[in-house]
Amino acid sequence: MGRGKIEIKKIENTNSRQVTFSKRRAGLLKKAQELAILCDAEVAVIVFSNTGKLFEFSSAGMKRTLTRYNKCFESSETDLKESRAEKEDLMEVDVLKDELEKLQKKQLRLLGNDLSSLSLKELQKLENELTEGLFSVKEKKDKLLMEQLEQSRVKEQRAILENETLRKQVEELRRLFPQADHAVPSYLEYYPVEKQNSPVNHGAKSPDLVSNFAFDNGDSDTTLQLGLPSDAFRKRKAPERESHSNDSGSQLGL
């Protein structure tokens, strides 16, 4: 007769549980050893009893097997993380593609294209969006125009202030340095010397001739330095010339 099927659950009796643990532990370690030998596998078994005792078996050394296990566990975790990150990236790419397509369609509709698939409600919504956008654009344009106008006003006020400052400075200079009522003309403006009367070619003039000509016409350096008008000087010299001519005539008559 075969053995009956044992229900897998915790054994309540302490003695029976201890006996079962010892038998099955020995069988588990024996099976692990057989598996390592028969299949040329690296097997490691670690068992802790309920009292805290350690039982272990390793076909290639427990530390070596644990190190190998940790490396494989870390690499598996890394691969798992990379695969998860790749899946998330692919999902994000798909979401971005969908958003891009929606934005492109919306842009075309805002430009007045691809409107055949829209319903009346959607068209009204699109019209409202365009109206709001146009109002925002006009408001921004008016704001920029007002700012430019204000800047122009400020520049105009600055120019007016600068002109007023310059005008005051000119008035102060005029007060400090009053100008003469009549400008004194130069000597050559009253008495130009003709080239044909010059004894020297190429426009050269003799100093003696110029001085004699000046004295014959009644001018002198004193007149030029004092700034007297030539008319007043001529009027003053006219009586002297007449008296001098009368004296000469009287002398000739004698």
How is the chain split into domains, by residue range?
A: 14-84
Res. 124: pLDDT tops 60? yes
Higher pLDDT, 214 or 10: 10
pLDDT band at 45 (very low <50, low <70, confident <90, very high): very high
Tokens of 69: 């296990």
Q: What is the mean pLDDT of residues 118-127?
A: 85
Residue 55's H or E segment, with its range, is strand 54-58
pLDDT band at 144 (very low <50, low <70, confident <90, very high): very high
pLDDT band at 148 (very low <50, low <70, confident <90, very high): very high
- CA atoms of 224 and 238, how far apart (whole Å): 18
- % of the chain beyond a pLDDT of 90: 29
Residue 239 is predicted with a pLDDT of: 53
Predicted pLDDT of residue 234: 53
Specify the range with the lowest mean pLDDT, choosing from 91-105, 147-161, 188-202.
Answer: 188-202
Residue 218: which region, alpha, beta or left (left: phi > 0; alpha: psi -120 to 50)?
Answer: left
Are 172 and 200 in contact by the 8 Å Cβ rule? The answer is no
Supply the pTM of this predicted model. 0.33
* pLDDT over 80 at 222, yes or no: no
pLDDT computed for residue 161 by the predictor: 94
- Highest average pLDDT, of 37-41, 115-119, 215-219, 225-229, comes from 37-41
Q: Which segment of 56-65, 150-159, 172-181, 213-222 scores lowest on mean pLDDT?
A: 213-222
Least confident of 32-41, 128-137, 204-213: 204-213
Sorted by sequence, the CB contacts under 8 Å of residue 42 that are 6+ apart come out as 36, 59, 60, 65, 68
- Predicted confidence (pLDDT) at residue 227 exceeds the cutoff of 90: no
State the pLDDT at residue 242: 52
Band (pLDDT 50/70/90 cuts) for residue 12 is confident
* CATH code for residues 14-84: 3.40.1810.10
pLDDT of residue 118: 80
Q: Do residues 47 and 55 touch, judged by C-beta distance below 8 A?
A: yes
Average pLDDT over residues 160-180: 86
Q: Is 214 within 8 Å of 220 (Cβ atoms)?
A: yes
- Mean pLDDT, range 2-16, rounded to an integer: 80
